[in-house]
Structure 1
Amino acid sequence: MEHELLLFAGVFFIIGALDDFAIDIAWLAMRLTGKAQVPRIDRETIARHELHGRAAVFIPTWQESRVIGDTIAHLLSVWRQQDICLYVGCYRNDAETIAAVIDAANGDPRLRLVIHDRDGPSTKADCLNRIYRALSIDEERQGMKARMVVFHDAEDMVDPAALTLLDEAIETAEFVQLPVLPLPQRDSRWIGSHYCEEFAEAHGKAMVVRDALGAAIPAAGVGCAVDRIALARLAASRGGGAPFAADSLTEDYELGIGIAMDGGRCQFVRARHATGELVATRAYFPSRIDQVVRQKTRWVHGIAFQGWDRLGWTMRPAEIWMRVRDRRGPFAAIVLLAGYLLFALATFSWGANAAGYGEPLELSLALKLLLAFNFFFFMWRATWRFAFTAREFGVAEGLRAVLRIPVANIIAIMAGRRALVAYARTLAGARVIWDKTDHDAHPARMTGHASMAS
């Protein structure tokens, strides 16, 4: 069994590593040729920028009274443009969140509270559809169409420059995504902070390559904007006047892909402030293991399983490559599980051999080479993870990112198993609900991050 596990895990680890290696090489080529340069944007440019049209900002909520006030207050203070309307969707049976939204508005006429006409939770997509209906009604009453729709979550801290970048990029694209930057958590160095390296590398390299290849850009659900006409076209194509499938667990992912499938141009935009700080949406991600697994279960279920069912495939090579990458989560979990089982068996075998029991596993030259290649690619991957994490969060966090690799792998295994079970239940007719995570902390409360608004 040990020999078979070694062969299985080793071969498929190599395949996954070569996939990532191709992204690395593509990014390096772009970097060397100047195609991956990140422009700088100064405060004066942000301050004097006037929107080219109305921006509608959508924030769906369910039991977010602990963070929604901070999000609204910070957003309205750093996005001072008058030509925006912030639509916050709440459920009629969520009085605490409704009260927090009203309190945070502080009489600002740019905020529009939208109360869902059903009890929550349903799904995030359903809540977004309710907000979309409110926007459509407002546009009809006022005789004025929004130019773009911006999406955020209840726990986000927006960047002062984000609206400027989105407004400029939407001139030539139907969908625009900015980076997302999960913040390190002192009270959750190994669980909550592991998102730092994943997004630093994905939004610093993989998405950049994806954009360069002309492949569809999946929406992160926050820090992204859609051209208003393109969103209406998407709603018309799906029927019922709603742009989001109410039974989708990853309506954000499907948004970017759907715009591209409808012929729209997608763009991923990276920029930095004059200080070097990345223009990005910042937030504290879940910090408890149960919440992390629940969130990643939703991602794997929605992207890998529902995405295969709902979005299918295309004939474009670059698009096929990206969708395979998106949907490899469940199989990667199986390979990781095989790898850890192999490690446990090898440890037991070495102990038994040292005690004089059994014979050590004889490795052929092919297996030795396989192990050598896997070790090389592990070190290569760890180096990249350190570099991208250290660039955004410092050397100490970069080192922790390398040490967190086993943690991230175990979470991936747990989420993959749970997603498979959840998908099987939906096939059996179980209802899809908003299995969201709770949020307590908000980065705008911290002095170091709140200063961005000044």
Structure 2
Amino acid sequence: MSAAILLTYPAAFYYVSLEWVAAFVAVVIMISSLDDLFIDAYYWTREAIRAVTVNRTYRHKRLTAEHLLAVPEQPIAIMVPAWMEANVISVMLDTMVNALEYRNYHIFVGTYPNDPDTIAEVERMRRRFKQLQRVEVPHPGPTCKADCLNWVVQAIFLFEQKHGIEFAGAVLHDCEDVIHPHELHLFNYLVPRKDLVQIPVMSLEREWFELVAGTYMDEFAEWHGKDLPVRESLSGMVPSAGVGTCFSRKALLALCADTANQPFNTESLTEDYDIG
């Protein structure tokens, strides 16, 4: 009988230890979730207040496609940095040009001299679309995305001087992006009144069994649908997501003036970390 009782001591110690560990982990999770709780509470409180105030007043009517289309089109530049993107760049450009209902725009694709496949694809598309310009980075790649973008920005300013135009803003996109038909209309409506505009970035829908891609969808929906509006409301600032970002011409000139014509930080692997 005593032997049977002694055998339960290790098990009892194990379960007591497990309870303490579980309690500790629960407290840590609770503490780490307080910021999420604050964001949720702030977001839904703000939505409730806006539902009975701003959204009900005549002066704050919801923006519609008709409002966007009624604004005269300003020239807009689209920046697309490309390194080893031969497999996707032509599809992206073709999809973008055919989807956009905006007409007054030019596309600037940055390529590297040691990436002939991407150059060939961009040149092939350039022969199809007169609004497409290829910008060659003067040194071999790969480099960080910011470096490529800095050369693209300089090419945009040179294009302005050569053709006697001024772009209202420059939009940043990647080679994998699918662009909404009215995206440029929205930027045209907000710029130059706003110096930086970040539209929500959402993942394409996936099948129910694609669990990893599903978490990606959830993260972007949560961040761009709730967290960013809360951040803008609290601080008046919105960070760039690295895609779907429009910089006004004034903002680009200010960044160039402060950084010796290097508006994007080449010390960072991701150019959008310190922009917003």
Fold agreement, TM-score > 0.5: yes
Q: 2:91 aligns with which of 61, 66, 70?
A: 70
Q: 1:50 aligns with which of 54, 68, 72?
A: 72
Deviation at 1:175, TM superposition (A): 0.6
Q: 1:18 and 2:30 equivalent?
A: no
Q: 1:251 and 2:271 equivalent?
A: yes
1:355-412, Cα deviation, whole Å (9 max, x unpaired): xxxxxxxxxxxxxxxxxxxxxxxxxxxxxxxxxxxxxxxxxxxxxxxxxxxxxxxxxx
Instruction: Tell me how far apart the structure 2 counterparts of residues 81 and 205 of structure 1 sit (CA, whole Å).
Output: 28
Deviation at 1:71, TM superposition (A): 1.4
In the other structure, the counterpart of 1:349 is none
1:232-282, Cα deviation, whole Å (9 max, x unpaired): 1112112x21101112122123221xxxxxxxxxxxxxxxxxxxxxxxxxx
Q: 1:175 aligns with which of 196, 199, 211?
A: 196
Deviation at 1:45, TM superposition (A): 5.0
Instruction: Tell me how far apart the structure 2 counterparts of residues 235 and 146 of structure 1 sit (CA, whole Å).
Output: 15
**Any idea what SS the aligned residue of 2:80 has?**
strand
Question: Which consecutive unaligned segments of at least 5 residues does structure 2 have?
Answer: 1-16, 56-60
**Any idea what SS the aligned residue of 1:85 has?**
strand
Q: 1:224 and 2:240 equivalent?
A: no
Higher Cα radius of gyration: 2
Contact map agreement 1:67 1:155 (CA 8 A) in 2: yes
In the other structure, the counterpart of 1:437 is none
Q: CA RMSD in A?
A: 2.3
The residue identity in structure 2 corresponding to 1:59 is: V
Contact map agreement 1:91 1:120 (CA 8 A) in 2: yes
**Any idea what SS the aligned residue of 1:255 has?**
coil
More helix by share: 1
Contact map agreement 1:70 1:104 (CA 8 A) in 2: no
Q: 1:27 and 2:43 equivalent?
A: yes
Q: 1:208 and 2:229 equivalent?
A: yes
Instruction: Tell me how far apart the structure 2 counterparts of residues 140 and 188 of structure 1 sit (CA, whole Å).
Output: 52
In the other structure, the counterpart of 1:41 is 64
**Any idea what SS the aligned residue of 1:135 has?**
helix
**Any idea what SS the aligned residue of 1:146 has?**
coil
Shift in alpha-carbon separation, 1:109–1:120, aligned structure 2, 3 A: same
Instruction: Tell me how far apart the structure 2 counterparts of residues 172 and 70 of structure 1 sit (CA, whole Å).
Output: 33
1:162-199, Cα deviation, whole Å (9 max, x unpaired): 11111112242111100011123349702223210001
1:126-175, Cα deviation, whole Å (9 max, x unpaired): 01011011112112223332111111000101001111111112242111
Contact map agreement 2:146 2:266 (CA 8 A) in 1: yes
Instruction: Tell me how far apart the structure 2 counterparts of residues 56 and 67 of structure 1 sit (CA, whole Å).
Output: 20
The residue identity in structure 2 corresponding to 1:158 is: I
Instruction: Tell me how far apart the structure 1 counterparts of residues 188 and 261 of structure 2 sit (CA, whole Å).
Output: 25
Deviation at 1:67, TM superposition (A): 1.3
Judge which range, 105-114 or 23-32, deviates more.
Answer: 105-114
**Any idea what SS the aligned residue of 2:211 has?**
coil
**Any idea what SS the aligned residue of 2:106 has?**
strand
**Any idea what SS the aligned residue of 1:100 has?**
helix
Shift in alpha-carbon separation, 1:100–1:188, aligned structure 2, 3 A: farther
Shift in alpha-carbon separation, 1:10–1:233, aligned structure 2, 3 A: same
Q: How does 1:57-136 map to 2 (within 5 A)?
A: 57-136=78-157
Q: How does 1:178-197 map to 2 (within 5 A)?
A: 178-186=199-207, 189-197=210-218
Deviation at 1:81, TM superposition (A): 3.5
Shift in alpha-carbon separation, 1:80–1:181, aligned structure 2, 3 A: same
Instruction: Tell me how far apart the structure 2 counterparts of residues 47 and 237 of structure 1 sit (CA, whole Å).
Output: 35
**Percent identity for Structure 1 against Structure 2:** 32
Question: Which consecutive unaligned segments of at least 5 residues does structure 1 have?
Answer: 257-454
Q: How does 1:331-346 map to 2 (within 5 A)?
A: none
Judge which range, 151-160 or 246-255, deviates more.
Answer: 246-255
Deviation at 1:48, TM superposition (A): 5.1
The residue identity in structure 2 corresponding to 1:25 is: A
**Any idea what SS the aligned residue of 1:193 has?**
helix
**Any idea what SS the aligned residue of 2:79 has?**
strand
Contact map agreement 2:111 2:119 (CA 8 A) in 1: yes
Contact map agreement 1:82 1:110 (CA 8 A) in 2: no
Instruction: Tell me how far apart the structure 2 counterparts of residues 46 and 156 of structure 1 sit (CA, whole Å).
Output: 22
**Any idea what SS the aligned residue of 1:192 has?**
helix
* TM-score (structure 1 length as normaliser): 0.52
In the other structure, the counterpart of 1:162 is 183
1:197-243, Cα deviation, whole Å (9 max, x unpaired): 001111111111111113421111111101111111112112x2110
Shift in alpha-carbon separation, 1:40–1:131, aligned structure 2, 3 A: same
Instruction: Tell me how far apart the structure 1 counterparts of residues 144 and 218 of structure 2 sit (CA, whole Å).
Output: 28
Instruction: Tell me how far apart the structure 1 counterparts of residues 42 and 170 of structure 2 sit (CA, whole Å).
Output: 32
**Any idea what SS the aligned residue of 2:213 has?**
coil
The residue identity in structure 1 corresponding to 2:36 is: D
* TM-score (structure 2 length as normaliser): 0.83
Instruction: Tell me how far apart the structure 2 counterparts of residues 98 and 48 of structure 1 sit (CA, whole Å).
Output: 37
